[in-house]
Amino acid sequence: MGKFYITTPVYYVNDAPHLGHAYTTIAADTISRYKRLCGDKVLFLTGTDEHGNKILQAAKEKGLSPIELADRMVNRFKNLWDKLLISYDDFIRTTEPRHTRVVESIFLKLYEKGDIYKGKYSGWYCVPCESFWLESQLKDGKKCPECGREVIKLEEDSYFFRLSAYQEKLLDYYSRHPDFVQPPTRMREVLEFVKRGLKDLSVTRLNLEWGISCPVDKSHSIYVWIDALINYISALGYSLNEEKFSFFWPADVHLVGKDILKFHAIIWPALLMALDIELPRMVFAHGWWMMRGEKMSKSKKNVIDPSWIVDKFGPDYLRYFLLREVPFGEDGNFSLSLFTKRVNSDLANDLGNLLNRSLHLIIRDYQGKVPSPYHQAPEDEELKLKLNSLLPKVDRFMNNLSFSQALSSIWEIVRMANLYLDRSAPWRLIKNGKKERAGSILYNVLDLMRILSVVLFPFIPRGAGKIWEQLGLQADIEKQNLKETVNWGRLPSGTRVKGASPIFPRIKEENFYEIKREDKVSF
């Protein structure tokens, strides 16, 4: 048994969870579920980032204290994760004592080591991004290169982290670990940024009302991004729980959006180097979901609330579409027509109909019991051979976080099985008195559905679980071992199936406009 430690970013609580948050977390959940099926000991960490000026300002606008706002938003995140069937193992809040204690101890350690020193900051600061920028980095004069909003000029005492001292060490590490940042285009971006030269990083703010107090100077608070990054080791009990930390660290994957890559691929590794802690194995920066080619934003009225899509259609349709439609790492366009076509074609037509047609015949002609595979034919072996090559392919794609490719390879089997059923025509064989041969065909399809239900469980856990139940299987699908599951012939003959009601009903594009009329999703 191996271990697998994956993280999402800690999400900022100044606003409600959106499709981008859902995308990152669904991806992390999918690979976590897959690794559990492979027998690994998994720790899937997510959480919330709750300090900083943005939180303070948002709370004041709502007439709340910062912690009251944070509590409300944490509930919204957790409610959405429940709806999406997110199987996180730990949820960390940066306001928790277990986190703040570690942040303070790390700051003190780096200060005593000389990697943090006091100086004076003079430069440009973006409040919405909580980011400092050089004048040469600004867009159109005085705008943040990340969000495009106006920056402000700051000049104040500050404590600095000697980021510049780690420039060559970082470049050396990247050269020895070319897969450290994925996909490769993001690695190239990181290399170009570091080669241009790193400046020491301001890591405190003066007189900040809402943040972790600087342990060496109480008039300062620790910069929110330094605070936030440390969650990945504070959740493991760094310096407090050596057994847990040594088992799970280093992280196998930090999963992030491409807009926060710099913090995770440059600043975080440099901090870890300063602390003499092994670096994570991979930082994967995925792309954005857009509407009509534009990044989603409230001002453009093109924001999609994932919660209401799940309320309308359930979790599987959204999970499947986001992971299937676009290669993970690239930007994608969310389109109502694409969503409808994808779930209807793949889930309702291909997967759902394959199961429904087979179960209908079992109920009608075999007293609802799985028949025995008496008579095997060459076309049966062809299906089995195709399946035997599936798991190695899926495993390779999943380890690379190539979710769309993994699903594409699974759907090759689904479509082949539909073709196998059409050509074999067991309904015709039954009519012609060849019930044993028809039973063998139906057994093969149902045993394939048993295997596919487990392989698909990480992607569409509710639907996969229903397939498993309709096959009459009693064991817990979540506790299956993937390598054992893919062996043919494990569906016991005589098992009583449990009905054939559609698991993946077709949808219409008009269904979205019912949500729109309720003003829950903006198109």
The residue behind tokens 């290169």 is: 145
Cα(401)–Cα(182) distance, rounded to whole angstroms? Answer: 10
Task: Output 393-401 pairs: Cβ under 8 A, ≥24 positions apart.
Answer: 394/455, 395/38, 398/31, 398/34, 398/458, 400/182, 401/27, 401/31, 401/182, 401/253, 401/255, 401/284, 401/328, 401/329
DSSP-assigned beta bridge partners for residue 202: 160
Widest distance between CA atoms in the chain = 90
Is the distance from CB of 91 to CB of 50 less than 8 angstroms? no
Residue 38 DSSP label: T
Cα(22)–Cα(13) distance, rounded to whole angstroms? Answer: 14
Closest CA to 308 of 508, 505, 517: 517
What φ, ψ does residue 129 adopt, rounded to 5°?
Answer: -90, -10
Kindly give the interhelix angle for 390-399 and 435-456, rounded to the nearest 10 degrees: 10
Task: Judge if the upstream peptide bond of residue 9 is cis by omega within 30 degrees of 0.
Answer: no
Q: Per-residue DSSP letters for 251-279?
A: PSEEEEEGGGHHIIIIIHHHHHHHTT-PP
Is the distance from CB of 523 to CB of 302 less than 8 angstroms? yes
Closest CA to 366 of 505, 463, 472: 472
Is the distance from CB of 145 to CB of 128 less than 8 angstroms? no
Cα(222)–Cα(235) distance, rounded to whole angstroms? Answer: 18
Residue 222: C-alpha distances to residues 100, 158, 216 (Å):
10, 10, 11
Amino acid at 440: S
DSSP-assigned beta bridge partners for residue 253: 6
SS3 280: coil
Is there a binding annotation on residue 214? no
Cα(50)–Cα(271) distance, rounded to whole angstroms? Answer: 21
Kindly give the interhelix angle for 403-424 and 353-365, rounded to the nearest 10 degrees: 40
Binding residues for Zn(2+): 126, 129, 144, 147
Binding residues: 126, 129, 144, 147
